[in-house]
Amino acid sequence: MNHMRNLAESRAEYGEDTLDLGPEEVRRLVHELRVHQIELEMQNDELRETQVTLAASRDRYSRLYDASPVSYCTLDARGVVIECNLTLSQLLNRERRQLIGYPLARNLPPEDQPILLDMLSNRALTVEQTLRFRSHGEEQKNLNILLKLHRLDKPDDMGSHWFAAISDVSSMHRLTEELRVKSAAIENTLEGVLITKANGQICFVNSAFEKTTGFTLKQVQGKNPSILQSGKHTSTFYQEMWQAIAREGHWRGEVWNRRASGEIFPEWISISTVFDDERKPAYYVGVFSDITIEERMRERLHKLAYYDATTDLPNRHLFMDRLNQAIADSRRNNRQFALLFIDLDRFKNINDTLGHSTGDHLLVEVSRRITASLREVDTVARMGGDEFMILLSNTDAEKDSQIVARKLLATMADPFDLDGRQYHISASIGISHFPADGTTAEDIIRHADIAMYQAKEHGRNTYHCYTQSFDEKQVVHLDLENDLRHAVRLESLELYYQPQQDLASGNWSGVEALLRWNHPERGLIPTIDFIRIAEETGLIVEIGYWVLRRACQQFLSWRRSGLDVGCVSVNLSPHQFLQSNLIERMRDILGETGMPPDCLGVEVTESAAMPNFQYSVRTLVALREMGVTIYIDDFGTGFSSLSHLRHLPIDVLKIDRAFVSETPGNGDDVAIVRAIIAMARTMNLRIVAEGIETAEQLAFLRQEGCHAGQGYLLSRPIAPEAILRLMR
């Protein structure tokens, strides 16, 4: 190469003619020229290969740039898009030609555009911000934009520009918002929340947990929930609970736990398992609520369901359960037991003369004396009114029952101190034995009842054992039954009406129809006596429809006389309520008499409505659709579950006299009455209190917001013509 250059220079200096080359020199020069030509061709090949490689690399980069999962674009100093990839075009749902050459800010809502301009004017090399972009034709998206500044210093370049990487963080933003809301919900929920790791260590509790238990997060963090255990549950209980959690992933139930103060309290808790990606337990979440109030109410309702509100003795429902258990036990072990049926003599005289409050006081004292005369294994119950039942278990039935009966009569012989005055009362006791006098609960009770009437017929203040002979008591009973049938046939029964008063205004708001039987020879028969016969014989159904028809006729008679008594209500006996043709008969009577249905009310006791609940609901719905007002009578003395009450289509709750009689002096009764009134108001029910006998009771009920009331203080049950005079 150098030689060729020297040759060229010599030619230029001396001219071509002065160059004299020999053959060898020429061949050498030709060879060098060929070598040089080959070298140039090789360089050209390498250049072409490099160009191909660069082109392929450029294409690959372009494809990667466009197909990148991250949206990229280049902006000039003013924020105008110089270049962008296909991902950004798809993200904003715009073609590239709609982006390149236009400000990126035009894809933002007006309120966010100044933020992007501030970012572009920032002197930092890197700026990052989440902005709301409007994708063409779609909803607004939350996009994270990362700007990196590139300064180009060559004169022929456009100057500094920004390289932007844009990521869709909408889902992350939504997730963050959801987590924020859920966190706030957990923290502010009324239920306590406790979260443990899989190893049982507590890692989180909310403020409701701290408020309920008294333990702070700092006190329990890292510890086992066993620090809350009350000691009321066995290890088997917890084993079964965790077995259920392991098997099903969750468990719920009632648990007694301990507060930081040491107080034991009940809670309803739901425990759920949180699994990791491999379906292994990662956390356990417990959500609980303090059910102390509910537990107390449940205990109270249980007591109301199974215990007499006046005497605190077992009621009929609980007694029947224990009687059936005694029968089953006696059959298995070939044992005997005795049943004593006690009825107080002339108790009605005290009740009518001194009032129900004094009568209830007497019942309490009687129950105390009876209980003190028995063993702990024996059961005494108040069956209703002035009737008590005693179950003597594991005895030489006939011998021991008579010893107990004599002991009880002796106990009753001492006077009772009632409000500073002494009163004497005796009892008649009927005795039946298992299995000699019956093998079913019904037979045992019925025969004890018959024996009790035998004792009354033999002069009262004595006892009588049941015998198979047809004695005087049965004759009297049959005579009374025949007389009642005769009275029903001749319609010689009577209806009295007890007015109800609106406690807010003092106006009369309605009347309750009450049945009376004035026997031509025996005089006024106690309602409970002939109603029992009517129920035993089935006459109660016919009597019930007679009462309904007569009450409707009387209402219309009052209206024709210009008197508006409000609503007249009649009582439906359990037998009548369960009649399959009740609705049809009711509709016929309303049609025959022309009685406006909205002026008629029917009173149904809890004990009548509960045994066949679904039937009761259908029947009451049909009555209400007719326009009849539905009353629940003697509320609080029947069943224990208030959850049934909300399903009954009722309009009025009548508070049983047992709860009213000792208000406002008895704190428990005051609390019950208040709870019933509050519950009724919540359910938009009207409240009527029965048995108002003192001004203090009236003032208390009025103050508590009871709507209406009835009782001897306001008016005794009176004849229809007396109603006319009273309300006018």
Residue 727 pLDDT more than 50?
Answer: yes
Residue 672 · residue 635 · CB < 8 Å: no
pLDDT in tens, 442-478: 999 989 998 998 888 788 899 999 887 645 556 667 7
State the pLDDT at residue 107. Answer: 87
Mean pLDDT of 670-695: 92
Fill in the amino acid letter for 130: T
User: What CA–CA distance (Å, rounded) separates 447 from 465?
Assistant: 9
State the pLDDT at residue 146. Answer: 81
Mean pLDDT of 556-561: 94
Residue 55 pLDDT more than 80?
Answer: no
State the pLDDT at residue 484. Answer: 86
State the pLDDT at residue 39. Answer: 76
The label of the residue with tokens 């749902």 reads: 93
- Compute the Cα dihedral for 532, 318, 439, 470 and give only its sign: negative
Residue-wise burial string across 526-543, b where 16 or more C-beta atoms lie within 10 A, e elsewhere: eeebbbebbbeeebbbeb
State the pLDDT at residue 643. Answer: 62
User: What CA–CA distance (Å, rounded) separates 473 from 467?
Assistant: 11
Fill in the amino acid letter for 146: L
Beta strands in 191-263 (DSSP E): 192-197, 202-205, 250-258
State the pLDDT at residue 247. Answer: 92
Residue 244 · residue 251 · CB < 8 Å: yes
Residues 6+ apart with CB under 8 A from 81: 73, 74, 75, 99, 100, 101, 102, 103, 104
Total length of the chain: 728
Q: Which long-range contacts (CB under 8 A, 24 or more apart) does 158-161 make?
A: 158/76, 158/82, 159/76, 159/77, 160/77, 161/74, 161/75, 161/76, 161/77, 161/82
- Kindly indicate the confidence band of residue 52, based on its pLDDT and cuts at 50, 70 and 90: low
pLDDT in tens, 87-137: 888 888 888 888 999 999 888 888 888 888 888 887 677 888 888 787 666
Residue 150 pLDDT more than 80?
Answer: no
Fill in the amino acid letter for 436: A
Residues 6+ apart with CB under 8 A from 411: 369, 370, 372, 373
pTM, 2 dp: 0.41
pLDDT in tens, 650-669: 899 999 888 999 899 898 88
User: What CA–CA distance (Å, rounded) separates 306 from 297?
Assistant: 14
Residue 565: helix, strand or coil by DSSP?
Answer: coil
Domains annotated for the chain, with CATH where assigned, are: 2-61 (no CATH), 68-131+143-166 (3.30.450.20), 189-290 (3.30.450.20), 300-469 (3.30.70.270), 484-727 (3.20.20.450)
The label of the residue with tokens 């001219």 reads: 15
Mean pLDDT of 484-502: 89
Query: By percentage, how much of the chain surpasses pLDDT 90?
Result: 45
Would you call 691 exposed, middle or buried from its count of C-beta atoms within 10 A (0-12, 13-18, 19+)?
buried
Residue 379 pLDDT more than 80?
Answer: yes
Mean pLDDT of 345-355: 81
Centroid of chain to Cα 118: 56
Fill in the amino acid letter for 516: R
User: What CA–CA distance (Å, rounded) separates 87 from 93?
Assistant: 10
Residue 388: helix, strand or coil by DSSP?
Answer: strand
Name the token pair of 430.
């009927």
State the pLDDT at residue 153. Answer: 46
State the pLDDT at residue 215. Answer: 94
Residue 708 · residue 688 · CB < 8 Å: yes
User: What CA–CA distance (Å, rounded) separates 654 from 476?
Assistant: 36
Question: Cβ of 630: how many Cβ atoms within 10 Å?
Answer: 21
State the pLDDT at residue 601. Answer: 95
Q: Are strands 427-434 and 652-655 parallel, antiparallel or unpaired?
A: unpaired
Residue 608: helix, strand or coil by DSSP?
Answer: helix
Residues 6+ apart with CB under 8 A from 217: 204, 205, 210
148 strand-pairing partners:
126, 163
Residues 6+ apart with CB under 8 A from 620: 604, 609, 630, 648, 649, 650
Summary mean pLDDT of the chain: 85
Residue 640 pLDDT more than 50?
Answer: no
Backbone φ, ψ for residue 520 (5° rounding)? -60, -25
pLDDT in tens, 578-632: 888 999 999 999 999 999 999 999 999 877 776 677 888 899 999 999 999 999 8
Would you call 443 exposed, middle or buried from its count of C-beta atoms within 10 A (0-12, 13-18, 19+)?
middle
